[in-house]
Chain A
C-alpha cells in the first residue's frame, strides 16, 4: 500500500507556508490565502492546492471546490501577456463580442486558454469600470479603449516582438 505523493519545489512550499502563517493557518482565510498564492505563482496548479490544503488543515477537495467556484482563480498558467476582454454590458452593446471573436481567431485559442508559446492567454471579464472607453481590452495592466475588430492585429503586434 503506498502513499499518494505530491511533489513540490522547496521554495514554493516555503512560500505557501509563509502565506498561510500570515493568516494564522486559519481555514476561514482560504480565499485570502488563495488570492495571495495565485498572486505569487500566477496560477494555482494541483500541487499548490494540495500544499495549501495541508497547511490550513482542509480537505484538498474543498480547496479545489473553492478554486473552481471563483472565476478569479485559475489552474492554467497565464500567458506572459494576459489579454482580458471586457464583456460587460456597455462593452457588449458597443461590440465587444466581435472583438473577442477576432482575438480568438488571431490567436487560435479559446477563452480560458493560453497560446502554445505561452505568450498570450485569453479571458473575459465583467466591467472594468471604464465604460466610457467601451469596448475595452486589457493586456496585462495596459488598457486599450474603443477597440474595433480591425484594431486587434495592431494590439497583438505590439507584443509580438517582445519576449
Chain B
C-alpha cells in the first residue's frame, strides 16, 4: 500500500493512501469531533453521509472547509483542525443543530449519554442566538413495545437508517421529506409497531441523541419490588454480565457476574436466577428437535424441514414472520430462553415456593430491546398474565444500580439462587454469535453418537466475528453442515439460499445483532467502537471455560426439572410450556 505524508496541526503524519483526515489525525492523537460519522469496522458498516459538518477542518489551498470524516488525505496536505475559523464554524453549525432540537435535557433519557450533549459541552455552547423565533420541527412521540421514537430529536445523522437498511435489511426506517422537514421514520410516519420493524434495537444502539430510545421499565421494576405481596424474580441473560461493568468504568470484557447477582439481590429481588439455566433447557428441546429432524431426514423423510433454524432471538423471529412468512415453519419451535424461563418460573418454580403466578413478577435483564416486545407476545401469557412480566435492558439496570448508590465494583461476588440459577458453559455462550449452535452441537453430538466429547468441547470453527460463517462437524461419520449468521442482512442471504434450494445446511444459527446478544440494542452504548463487542465476546468464552459443567444436558437442575416436572424433552408438557408457533405478519395487500 502506498503511503502519503501530510501535516496535521504541524505534526508530520504518514498514513496509507485512502485514509481520511479523521483517521490520520487520530493516529497522532488529534481528536476531531464527529457527530453523524459512524464506523462499525468489524461488521462493515460505515455511515459517512457528511451531514453534520462538525468534523470540518481547514485544508491549505482549499476554498471551503473539509469534512475530516470523508476527506481523503493527499501527499503534502496541510490540515489545521482547530483554527478560529474552524472553531467558529463548528460552534455555529452545532448552534444550528441545537436550534432545532428540544431543550429537555433534564429529563431526556439520553441525558449524560448523549453525543449531541457532549458536543455542546465540548464546544462551549451556552446560548442559541435567535432561538426565540426559530421554528422547530414537531412530531408526535411514538411508543412501540420496545422502542420510543422522539423524532423532534432526530438530527439526520442517518446512523439508524444505515443499521436498519444496510445491516439489517429490514427497511423500517428511511429518510423522508426534504430540507428542514427531513427526518428518519417508518413509511407515512406510521408507528413503528405497524412497520416491518423487528425491534432489534440497533437503531437505538447507534442513535447519538434521544431520538431513539428503549421503552423504560425501571419504574415498573421499582413498583414491583416495593410491593410486599409480590415475589419478584430476576433472570439475567448471559451477555449482560459481559457488558454491565462498562457502565461502571470497567474495561470492556470485564465479567461482573457475581457482583451483578449481589447488586440485584440488594435491589430487592426475591430470587436472582440465570437465563443461562433456560438456555440449557432450550438446548435440550432444540437439540432434541434437531436430532429428530436430522434422523428423519437421514431416513429419507421428504417432508422434514431442514435446515433447522434457531429461534432464541426475538428480532430474528419477527424478521422471518415479516419478511419470509413462507418459511415460518423452518425455525425450531423451541421458545427462547427468556420465555422458557418465564414459563417454568411461573409453573414449576411457583409450585415450589407455593405462590400463584399472579403474585409473581418475572423480570428479565436483557441486552436486548426485542425481548421487551417478545415478553408481550400474546401466546406467552396465561389468561392475560405474561410469563415474563417485563424486560429491562443492561442500561436500565445500570441506571438503577447507580440510583441505589451501589458501586458495582465494590459489591461482593455472589452466586445465583437455585434451582433456576444453575447453568452450564453452554448456556453462557448463548450470548455470542455462534454460541447457541455450539451449545446445541455439544449436546446433539453426544446424544447422537452416544459418545463423550471430553476435552474436545471447544468448536473453534463455529466461533468468530464474520457475518456469515460455515462449518462442518463430523457426527461420527455423519457430516453436519452448520451455518451461522449475525445481522439480519446476513440472515437474509442464508434464507434466500434456502428458498432457492441452494442451501446445504442442516442447522443455522441466527442472531440479529452484531456479534450476537453481546451487541444487543440494550447494551451499554459502544459509541462506534466494535472492538468493545469483541472484548465482550472474549469474556463470554472465558466464562464458559470457567464453568465446571459445559454441556447443557449435564446441568443437574435441568435433569431434575425433566425428572420432576417435564418428563421427556419434546414431550407433551414440554410442548405446552416450551414450544411455540410462528405467524405470518407480513404486510398484506388486499383487494377491497
A residues adjacent to B (C-beta < 8 A): 1-10, 13, 46-47, 49-51, 53-54, 58-65, 68-69
CB within 8 Å of A: which of B566-592?
583-592
Q: Is the CB of B591 within 8 A of A4?
A: no
Q: Is the CB of A9 within 8 A of B592?
A: yes
Measured in the bound complex, the distance between the Cα atoms of B585 and A9 in whole Å is 21
Measured in the bound complex, the distance between the Cα atoms of B194 and A53 in whole Å is 16
| 20 A-B pairs (CB sep. < 8 Å) | A1-B321, A1-B377, A3-B585, A3-B586, A4-B588, A8-B590, A9-B591, A10-B591, A13-B591, A46-B188, A53-B187, A54-B587, A59-B187, A60-B171, A60-B187, A61-B187, A62-B174, A64-B174, A64-B176, A65-B175
Instruction: Tell me the nearest residue of chain B to A46, going by C-beta.
Output: B188
Q: Please name all residues of chain A whose beta carbon is closer than 8 Å to the beta carbon of B175 when the two chains form the complex.
A: 65
- What 6 A-B pairs come out closest when comparing CB atoms? A59-B171, A61-B174, A7-B592, A65-B174, A64-B187, A60-B187
A153 to chain B, nearest CB (A): 33
Q: Is the CB of B592 within 8 A of A60?
A: no
CB within 8 Å of A: which of B417-437?
none
Q: Is the CB of B378 within 8 A of A1?
A: yes
Q: Please name all residues of chain B whose beta carbon is closer than 8 Å to the beta carbon of A1 when the two chains form the complex.
A: 321, 377-379, 583, 585
B314 to chain A, nearest CB (A): 12
B residues adjacent to A (C-beta < 8 A): 165, 170-178, 185-188, 194-196, 321, 377-379, 583-592
A125 to chain B, nearest CB (A): 16
Measured in the bound complex, the distance between the Cα atoms of B187 and A12 in whole Å is 20
Given the interface pairs A64-B174, A65-B174, A65-B175, the reply to whether A49 lies near B587 with Cβ below 8 Å is: no
Measured in the bound complex, the distance between the Cα atoms of B165 and A46 in whole Å is 21
Q: Is the CB of A8 within 8 A of B188?
A: no
Q: Is the CB of A54 within 8 A of B585?
A: no
Q: Please name all residues of chain A whose beta carbon is closer than 8 Å to the beta carbon of B195 when the two chains form the complex.
A: 61
A15 to chain B, nearest CB (A): 13
B139 to chain A, nearest CB (A): 14
Q: Is the CB of A59 within 8 A of B591?
A: no
Q: Is the CB of B377 within 8 A of A61?
A: no
Q: Is the CB of B174 within 8 A of A3?
A: no
Q: Is the CB of B583 within 8 A of A6?
A: no
Q: Please name all residues of chain B whose beta carbon is closer than 8 Å to the beta carbon of A46 when the two chains form the complex.
A: 187-188
B178 to chain A, nearest CB (A): 5
Q: Please name all residues of chain A whose beta carbon is closer than 8 Å to the beta carbon of B165 when the two chains form the complex.
A: 59, 62
Given the interface pairs A46-B188, A61-B171, the reply to whether A4 lies near B585 with Cβ below 8 Å is: yes
In addition to A59-B170, A64-B174, A65-B175, 4 A-B residue pairs with Cβ atoms within 8 Å of each other are A4-B585, A13-B591, A50-B589, A61-B185
B467 to chain A, nearest CB (A): 20
B489 to chain A, nearest CB (A): 13
Q: Is the CB of A4 within 8 A of B194?
A: yes
Instruction: Tell me the nearest residue of chain B to A49, going by C-beta.
Output: B187
Instruction: Tell me the nearest residue of chain A to B587, going by C-beta.
Output: A4
Measured in the bound complex, the distance between the Cα atoms of B195 and A77 in whole Å is 24
Measured in the bound complex, the distance between the Cα atoms of B590 and A54 in whole Å is 12
Given the interface pairs A8-B592, A63-B187, A64-B188, the reply to whether A3 lies near B173 with Cβ below 8 Å is: no
Measured in the bound complex, the distance between the Cα atoms of B379 and A10 in whole Å is 35
Instruction: Tell me the nearest residue of chain A to B173, going by C-beta.
Output: A61
A52 to chain B, nearest CB (A): 10
Q: Is the CB of A5 within 8 A of B590?
A: yes
A29 to chain B, nearest CB (A): 18
Q: Please name all residues of chain A whose beta carbon is closer than 8 Å to the beta carbon of B194 when the two chains form the complex.
A: 4
Instruction: Tell me the nearest residue of chain A to B172, going by C-beta.
Output: A61
Instruction: Tell me the nearest residue of chain A to B185, going by C-beta.
Output: A61
Given the interface pairs A1-B378, A59-B196, A61-B195, the reply to whether A68 lies near B589 with Cβ below 8 Å is: no
Instruction: Tell me the nearest residue of chain B to A65, going by C-beta.
Output: B174
A27 to chain B, nearest CB (A): 11
Q: Please name all residues of chain A whose beta carbon is closer than 8 Å to the beta carbon of B588 when the two chains form the complex.
A: 3-6
Q: Please name all residues of chain B whose beta carbon is closer than 8 Å to the beta carbon of A61 when the two chains form the complex.
A: 171-174, 176, 185-187, 195
Q: Please name all residues of chain B whose beta carbon is closer than 8 Å to the beta carbon of A64 when the two chains form the complex.
A: 174, 176, 187-188
Instruction: Tell me the nearest residue of chain A to B169, going by C-beta.
Output: A59
Q: Please name all residues of chain A whose beta carbon is closer than 8 Å to the beta carbon of B196 when the two chains form the complex.
A: 59
A59 to chain B, nearest CB (A): 3
Instruction: Tell me the nearest residue of chain A to B188, going by C-beta.
Output: A46
Q: Is the CB of A6 within 8 A of B176?
A: no
Q: Is the CB of A6 within 8 A of B587?
A: yes
Q: Which of B174, B186, B195, B586 has the most CB of A within 10 A?
A: B174
Q: Please name all residues of chain B whose beta carbon is closer than 8 Å to the beta carbon of A69 when the two chains form the complex.
A: 176-178
Instruction: Tell me the nearest residue of chain B to A50, going by C-beta.
Output: B589
Q: Please name all residues of chain A whose beta carbon is closer than 8 Å to the beta carbon of B591 when the two chains form the complex.
A: 7-10, 13
Q: Please name all residues of chain A whose beta carbon is closer than 8 Å to the beta carbon of B590 when the two chains form the complex.
A: 5-8
Q: Please name all residues of chain B whose beta carbon is closer than 8 Å to the beta carbon of A50 when the two chains form the complex.
A: 187, 587, 589
Given the interface pairs A7-B592, A65-B175, A68-B178, the reply to whether A60 lies near B585 with Cβ below 8 Å is: no
Q: Is the CB of B589 within 8 A of A6?
A: yes
Q: Please name all residues of chain B whose beta carbon is closer than 8 Å to the beta carbon of A9 when the two chains form the complex.
A: 591-592
Measured in the bound complex, the distance between the Cα atoms of B175 and A62 in whole Å is 8
Measured in the bound complex, the distance between the Cα atoms of B247 and A18 in whole Å is 56
